[in-house]
């Protein structure tokens, strides 16, 4: 089937700011190159990266994406949908395939995607569940499996356990057989326990790492404390993995320099210090979609909104009120 649509509905961004700079409007529909596919998008999922690109915070984002205003006017990365056109050089994918993955300008009726960044969705996985995975769950898998190398029986602390990446990290570490402690605000404690965490530490009432206990692995996706402070809660040969922290540091880098510092300090200390630089890829997506299909992983969807509710949903995400993931359904029949 060939699309004949000249324009499409999309969520657009004309400046850096809050959701007041977003609009739902008509934009030209994209055309796939020979090595791309065109996907009709059913559901999309914002994440903290969407919020960084919206606000232009950290400022380093603006160096890459436009100093005064974003060059990319359609927002979004993670999507699930159905292939509508296949480029002449693409093999192994067909019109009608249900796929999930990442692509720039994904929060739109149609998106062009590279085959290496999408995977087929198993029949048993819904579009809504699939849309939640490509950014947050891929980051979580690479943090738990590749950076932390979590082993059965290890004591693991997940900081930011109630968020998008954290909710997947808790489940993936539990699936490895680890004994997981989650760190989250009190309102998310029951949610974090429901993901398999043995205990939950409220960072507001228990701020001192000396009171947290000792862990073989700490993965920080929220806190932003200095490396030497977090290392106080590690066992002698423990591993510290830095994923990110939105409120850390100054506005230029927002603590992303901690990732670099962890890698540079690693050779000089007993602890293993490392960082995650997430790379979406088909193999990891297939692993995650398979785990959702056979019930070992939940997409932990807190909220599904239609396009009319998209701005309020992004506002809640930016205020870190979302438990786990939120999904925007572009097709009304996906609303539940």
Does residue 287 touch ligand NAP according to CB under 6 A? no
Does residue 139 touch ligand NAP according to CB under 6 A? yes
Q: Per CB under 6 A, which of residues 197..226 are in contact with ligand NAP?
A: 203, 221-223
Cβ proximity to ligand NAP: between 90 and 165 the closer is: 165
Distance CA 246, CA 204 (A): 16
Does residue 281 touch ligand NAP according to CB under 6 A? no
- Which listed residue (109, 176, 216, 246) binds ligand NAP by CB under 6 A? 246
Does residue 277 touch ligand NAP according to CB under 6 A? yes
Does residue 285 touch ligand NAP according to CB under 6 A? no
Structure tokens that stand for 109 in this block: 């009726």
Name residues whose C-beta falls within 8 Å of residue 222's C-beta, 6 or more positions apart in sequence: 159, 160, 163, 166, 183, 244, 245, 246
CB atoms within 10 A of CB 76: 28
CB of residue 117 vs ligand NAP: minimum separation in angstroms? Answer: 15
Does residue 162 touch ligand NAP according to CB under 6 A? yes
Does residue 76 touch ligand NAP according to CB under 6 A? no
Cβ proximity to ligand NAP: between 177 and 213 the closer is: 213
User: Which residue do the tokens 């232009």 mark?
Assistant: 56
Distance CA 114, CA 155 (A): 38
Cβ proximity to ligand NAP: between 40 and 254 the closer is: 254
Distances (CA, A) of 261 to 3, 20, 219, 266: 48, 36, 15, 8
Return the residue nearest ligand NAP (CB atom).
163
The answer to whether the beta carbons of residues 34 and 88 sit under 8 Å apart is yes
Does residue 244 touch ligand NAP according to CB under 6 A? yes
Structure tokens that stand for 29 in this block: 């529909």
CB of residue 259 vs ligand NAP: minimum separation in angstroms? Answer: 7
Total residues contacting ligand NAP by CB under 6 A comes to 29
- Which listed residue (98, 120, 188, 271) binds ligand NAP by CB under 6 A? 188
Does residue 278 touch ligand NAP according to CB under 6 A? yes
CB of residue 147 vs ligand NAP: minimum separation in angstroms? Answer: 9
Does residue 313 touch ligand NAP according to CB under 6 A? no
Residue 313's SS3 state is: helix
Report helix angle 310-318 to 48-55, nearest 10. 100
Does residue 131 touch ligand NAP according to CB under 6 A? no
Beta strands (DSSP E) in the chain are: 7-13, 22-28, 37-45, 78-86, 98-102, 110-113, 118-120, 155-159, 179-183, 199-201, 215-220, 234-242, 272-275, 301-306, 325-329
CB atoms within 10 A of CB 101: 32
- Which listed residue (185, 194, 199, 281) binds ligand NAP by CB under 6 A? 185
Q: Per CB under 6 A, which of residues 30..59 are in contact with ligand NAP?
A: 47-49
Binding region for ligand NAP (CB under 6 A): 47-49, 136, 139, 159-160, 162-166, 183-185, 188, 203, 221-223, 243-246, 276-278, 320, 322
């Amino acid at each position: 089937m060939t699309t004949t649509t000249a324009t499409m509905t999309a969520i657009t961004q004309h400046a850096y700011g809050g959701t007041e700079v977003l609009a739902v409007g008509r934009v030209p529909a994209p055309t796939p190159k020979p090595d791309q596919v065109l996907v009709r998008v059913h559901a999309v999922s914002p994440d903290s990266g969407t919020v960084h690109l919206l606000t232009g915070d950290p400022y380093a984002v603006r160096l890459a994406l436009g100093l005064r205003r974003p060059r990319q006017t359609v927002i979004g990365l993670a999507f699930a949908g159905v292939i509508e056109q296949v480029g002449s050089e693409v093999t192994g994918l067909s019109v009608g395939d249900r796929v999930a993955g990442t692509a720039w300008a994904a929060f739109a009726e149609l998106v062009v995607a590279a085959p290496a960044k999408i995977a087929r969705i198993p029949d048993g996985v819904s579009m809504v569940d699939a849309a939640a995975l490509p950014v947050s769950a891929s980051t979580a898998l690479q943090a738990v499996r590749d950076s932390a190398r979590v082993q059965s029986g290890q004591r693991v602390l997940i900081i930011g356990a109630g968020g998008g990446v954290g909710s997947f990290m808790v489940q993936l570490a539990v699936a490895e057989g680890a004994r997981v402690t989650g760190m989250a605000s009190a309102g998310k404690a029951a949610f974090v326990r429901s993901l398999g965490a043995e205990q939950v530490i409220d960072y507001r009432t228990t701020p001192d790492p000396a009171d947290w206990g000792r862990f073989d692995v700490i993965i920080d996706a929220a806190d932003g404390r200095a490396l030497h402070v977090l290392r106080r809660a590690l066992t002698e040969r423990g591993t510290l993995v830095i994923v990110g922290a939105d409120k850390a540091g100054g506005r230029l880098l927002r603590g992303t320099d901690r990732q670099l510092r962890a890698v540079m300090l690693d050779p000089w200390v007993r602890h293993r210090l490392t960082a995650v630089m997430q790379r979406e890829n088909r193999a990891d997506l297939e692993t995650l979609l398979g785990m959702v299909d056979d019930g070992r992983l939940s997409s932990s969807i807190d909220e599904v909104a239609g396009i009319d509710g998209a701005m309020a949903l992004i506002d809640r995400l930016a205020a870190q009120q979302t438990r786990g993931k939120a999904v925007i359904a572009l097709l009304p029949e996906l609303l539940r």
